[in-house]
A and B are shown apart, each in its own frame.
Chain A
Amino acid sequence: MSAAPGKARRGTRFEQSAATREPAWIKWSILAASLGFFLLFVLLPLIAVFVEALRRGLAPYLAAIIEPDALAALRLTLTIAAIAVPLNLVFGIAAAWLIAKFDFRGKQLLTTLIDLPFSVSPVIVGLMYVLIFGANGWFGQWLLAHDLKVIFALPGIVIATVFVTFPFVARELIPLMQAQGREEEEAAVVLGANGWQVFWHVTLPNIKWGVIYGVVLANARAMGEFGAVSVVSGKLRGQTTTLPLQVEILYNEYNFAAAFAVASLLALLALVTLALKSWVEHRSRRADTGGSLSLEAAAAVAAANRATRTSAEKPAS
C-alpha cells in the first residue's frame, strides 16, 4: 500500500482502510483501461474535429462557418430544436404524469410504447413518415391537394425529430414521479387545491430538475439527429439541411476543412449542452440534500430508494 494508515486522512470521501481496498495493481489496471479507452475513442476524435477544422488557419475556418449554406443549416437546426424540445416537454410531462400517478388499463403497453423510439432505428422512423406523408403515401394526395408540404420540408423534419427525442423527458420523469408517490398531491387536494394548483405548486417543483435534465438530453439529440432527418429532409441545400446533414454533404464533396468546421460547430453545441447537464446534476444533487442533511433524513432517503427498487421489481398492477 502506498498510503500509510492514519497519515493525513482526507475524510471519508476516498477509501482509506487497507482492509476494504483492492491491491494497487487492480486499481491501476482498471483505471488505465477505462482512461485509455476514453482517451482513444472519445476525447481524441473530439480533439481531431477541432484540429482538422483549424488545420488551414482561422480565416478559412470562419469563412466555412459564415458561408450561407452553413448558416442556414445552423438556423434550421436551432429552429427544429426550438420547436421539437418544447413539444416533447409538454408530451413528456403529460405522459409521465399519466403513467406515474394514475392506474388504468394498458398502462404497461403505454410505458413500452414510450420506449419505441429508442428501439427503432432512426432510418426506419424516417421511412415510416415518408410512407405516411410522402407523395405516394397514405395522406400524400390529401396533403398535395391542400398545398401542404411535410416531407422534404420543415414539418417533416420536426415530426421525425419529435419522434426520435420523445422518450427523453418521459423516461427521466416516470421513475422520479413513481418514487415520489401520490401522497403530496393527495395532501394538496385535501387542502383544497384544484388540479392546476396541485400541478403547479406541488408536482412541478418536485420534478423540476428531472424536467430540466430531460430537456437538455432531448435538446442534444434533437440537434444531433441524423438518420431519421436525413430520410425526410431531401437535403435541399440552404433549405432543409440541418447541421449534421450539412457535414455529411461537405464531407462527401471532399471539402474536408469545411466539413470539420461545421462539425466543430455541432460539437460546440454538444459541449454547451453537456456543461448545462453537469450544472443541472450538480444543482439537483444540492437541492436533494437541502443543505444540511440529518442522519435520519439520509436513512429515510435510503429506505425510500429501497422501496422504489422493490416496487420497480414488481409489475405495476
Chain B
Amino acid sequence: MSIQVSHIHKRFGSFVALDDVSLDFHAGELVALLGPSGCGKTTLLRIIAGLEQADSGNVILEGEDASERHVRERQVGFVFQHYALFKHMTVFDNVAFGLRMKPRGQRPDDASIAAKVHALLDLVQLDWLADRFPSQLSGGQRQRIALARALAVEPRVLLLDEPFGALDAKVRKELRRWLRKLHDELHITSIFVTHDQEEALEVADRVVLMNHGRIEQVGTPEAVYNHPATPFVYGFLGSVNLFHGRVEDQVLQVGDASVPHATGGFASGAEVFAFARPHELSILTDPNATEGLAASVVRVLSFGVSSRVELDGRGSAAGQHFEVELPQAEVGKLALQPGQHVRLLPSRLRLFERSTPG
C-alpha cells in the first residue's frame, strides 16, 4: 500500500515536532526515517499509524485520506521500541490477540487462529517459544514476537519505531539482516524509525533524513551517503572533519593554510564549510611541507583493518579536532608519535556555503 503524508504540522506546546512535512512512500518499499532524537521521526510514524493527531496536514493511505480514520481501522502493524508485548499472556496469546479481538462476524475459529499463529511463529523462527511468557524471552526474541503479533492482522503497512534500539550491538546487527530478508519475502510497505545511520543505510531501500521537524534529504542509501544535500546530512551519515574556509581560485584558504581544491561552482571569496571524511585526509610527516593544515598527533588507534589517528589543529586551526583513517600498513610506515607535528591534506572536500543553516 502506498502512503502519502502532506504538509503535516505538529507541535507539543511550544516545541515544533513536525514542520510542513510531505513525503511519498511507494507500495512494497522499506523506508528508514533517520535523524537525531527529537527530530520528529517517531512523531511522524505515530501520526501515520493514527496514534497521534497532526495539527494540520493529511495522511493518505492508498490514495484515500485517512486523517479522520481511527487507528483501529487503518490496518497498520506497529512495532514498539520496547516491544509492548502483553506481559500476562503467553507468546501464543500475544500473537493471537489481534485475531481474537476481531468482531464476532469476522473472527476466525480457534483452529484457524492456532494455525495462523503457528505459521507466524514459524516465520519468525520462534515456534518453540509459543508457551513462554514475554519475561522469559531475550530482547531479540521479544522483538521478533512483537513483529509476528503485528503481522497477524495482515496489516497493509508495517511501522517500526526504533525496533532494534533496545538491543545490544550484536543482536541488532543480526535482526537487521533478518528484517531485510523478511521484507524481501513479504513485500509489505514498511517504514522504520532509527537514529542509527548504519542501520538505516544497511536495511532501507530509501532513507529519509530528518532534523528539527523538517526533511533534509530523501534518497537511496548510496545517494544520501555519496551526495549529501546539506551539511547536516553530511555530518550525520558518518564521521567528518570540518574546516571553515574561503574559496580563492583553485585553492581553499583555511586560516593561513591553503588546501588544493578542484570542484568549482563557488565564486572566489565565498565563505564555505568544507567537509572531509576521515579516509579522505592524508598525513604529511615531512617537516618542510607547506601544503595542508598544521596539526599534531594525539593518539593512534590501531585495531581492525584500518587505523584511526586523532589529531589536534595547530596555528589557525587550534582548538579543532581531526580524525584520519588510514590502512594499517600506512600507519606503520608513517611511524607517528603522540605530539608529532604533521600536516593534513584532504584528497576530496565537500563544500557548503556558510550561509546554509545547520
Give the interface of A toward B (CB within 8 A): 183-184, 186-194, 197, 201-202, 205-206, 289-294, 296-297, 317
Contact = CB atoms under 8 A, between A and B. Distances in A.
Interface string B112-143: 00000000000000000000010110110000
Interface stretch (B77-85, B268-276, B308-316): B77-85
Nearest to A198: B101
Given A183-B80, A184-B84, A189-B72, A294 B97 contact: no
A290 B135 contact: yes
Q: Which of the four size classes fits the interface of chain B?
A: 20 to 34
B72 A193 contact: yes
Given A192-B72, A192-B101, A187 B84 contact: yes
B44 interface: no
A277 B41 CA distance: 46
A193 B78 contact: no
B294 to A, nearest CB: 46
Contacts of A297: 135-136
Contact of B133 (A193, A290, A317): A290
A232 B71 CA distance: 50
A37 to B, nearest CB: 39
B76 A190 contact: yes
B135 A294 contact: yes
A186 to B, nearest CB: 6
The main secondary structure of chain A at its interface with chain B is helix
B51 A202 contact: no
8 contacts: A183-B82, A183-B84, A188-B97, A189-B51, A190-B72, A190-B77, A201-B97, A297-B136
A35 to B, nearest CB: 37
Given A191-B153, A192-B72, A186 B135 contact: no
Given A187-B78, A202-B86, A206-B87, A194 B72 contact: yes
A296 B138 contact: yes
B146 to A, nearest CB: 8
Contacts of B138: 294, 296
B98 A192 contact: yes
Contacts of A187: 78, 80, 84-86, 146, 149
B13 interface: yes
Contact of B13 (A183, A289, A290, A317): A317
Contacts of B78: 186-187, 190
Given A187-B80, A193-B101, A206-B87, 12 more contacts: A183-B84, A184-B85, A186-B51, A186-B78, A186-B80, A187-B78, A187-B149, A190-B76, A190-B77, A191-B152, A192-B72, A293-B135
Contacts of B135: 289-290, 293-294, 297
B87 A191 contact: no
Interface of B: 13, 49, 51, 71-72, 76-78, 80, 82, 84-88, 97-98, 101-102, 133, 135-136, 138-139, 146, 149-150, 152-153
A190 B97 contact: no
Contacts of A183: 80, 82, 84
B88 A190 contact: no
Contacts of B146: 187
B154 to A, nearest CB: 11
A203 to B, nearest CB: 10
Of B77, B97, B149, chain A has the most CB atoms within 10 Å of the CB of B97
Contacts of A191: 97-98, 101, 149-150, 152-153
Given A183-B84, A186-B78, A202-B86, A193 B97 contact: yes
Contacts of B88: 205-206
A23 B71 CA distance: 61
A290 B136 contact: yes
A186 B101 contact: no
Contacts of A317: 13
Interface-central residue, A186, A197, A289, by most chain B CB under 10 Å: A186
Nearest to B139: A296
Interface centre among B49, B84, B98 (most CB of A within 10 A): B84
A292 B136 contact: yes
Contact of B102 (A189, A192, A293): A192
A72 to B, nearest CB: 43
A186 B85 CA distance: 11
A314 B135 CA distance: 29
Contacts of B85: 184, 187
Contacts of A289: 135
Contacts of B133: 290
- By Cβ-Cβ distance, the 9 closest A-B pairs, closest first, are A191-B98, A183-B84, A187-B84, A193-B101, A205-B88, A190-B78, A290-B135, A297-B135, A189-B71
Nearest to B77: A190
Contacts of B97: 188, 191, 193, 201
Contacts of A292: 136
B141 to A, nearest CB: 11
Contacts of A193: 72, 97-98, 101
Nearest to A293: B135
B92 to A, nearest CB: 14
Given A187-B78, A187-B80, A192 B153 contact: yes
Contacts of B72: 189-190, 192-194
Contacts of A290: 87, 133, 135-136
A194 B76 CA distance: 15
Contacts of B76: 190
